[in-house]
Amino acid sequence: MFALRNNHNVIKCSDKAITYAKDFKIKAVREYNDEGMTPTMIFREAGFDLDAIDRCTPKNCLNRWRRTFKIKGVPGLNMDRRGRGSGKVKDLIDAEKIKRLEIEIAYLKEENSFLAKLRAKRTE
């Protein structure tokens, strides 16, 4: 674990998870897509001891990062949520923020309309 913490491509690590630097994720996806390097080659070149991490980790990480890159581009790789997280608006790119806020506004308008109708029935 000490070697992982000292690797400049790692932001933090625990017994359960490794948080990789966004620059490393971007570089890894580009090397895989453009240069045809394998996930194992990319991780070795980046200074990772494959005995210290699960041998499937490079492949799994690259698959996840490539999917994210394909859908969200570079901004998606800046997030490290692995499908988890608060889903807060601040973590989304602008187009996603707008769409999410439009949905929230529509929901609140419907809720206000419902409450207004409910109040009107009470006063009858």
Residue 50: the pLDDT is: 83
Distance CA 111, CA 76 (A): 32
Residue 87 has pLDDT above 60, yes or no: no
Task: Answer for the pair 26, 77: CB distance below 8 angstroms, yes or no.
Answer: yes
- Mean pLDDT over residues 2-21, rounded? 83
Task: Answer for the pair 62, 42: CB distance below 8 angstroms, yes or no.
Answer: yes
Residue 86 has pLDDT above 70, yes or no: no
- Residue 9 token pair: 């491509």
3-state secondary structure at position 20: strand
Residue 85: the pLDDT is: 45
Residue 91 has pLDDT above 50, yes or no: yes
Residue 9 has pLDDT above 70, yes or no: yes
As a dihedral over the C-alpha atoms of residue 6, residue 31, residue 43, residue 21, rounded to 10 degrees, the angle is 30
Give the residue carrying structure tokens 């009107």. 120
3-state secondary structure at position 96: helix
Give the residue carrying structure tokens 């041998």. 55
Chain segment 13-56, per-residue pLDDT in tens = 888 888 889 999 999 999 999 999 999 999 999 998 888 888 88
Residues in the chain, total: 124
Q: What is the DSSP string of 56-93?
A: THHHHHHHHHHHHHHHH-HHHHT---TT-S---GGGS-
- Mean pLDDT over residues 105-118, rounded? 93
Identify the band that residue 111 occupies on the pLDDT scale cut at 50, 70 and 90.
very high
Domain-wise residue ranges, the chain: 1-85, 86-124
Chain segment 60-83, per-residue pLDDT in tens = 999 999 998 888 888 888 765 554
Residue 89 has pLDDT above 60, yes or no: no
Task: Answer for the pair 19, 11: CB distance below 8 angstroms, yes or no.
Answer: yes
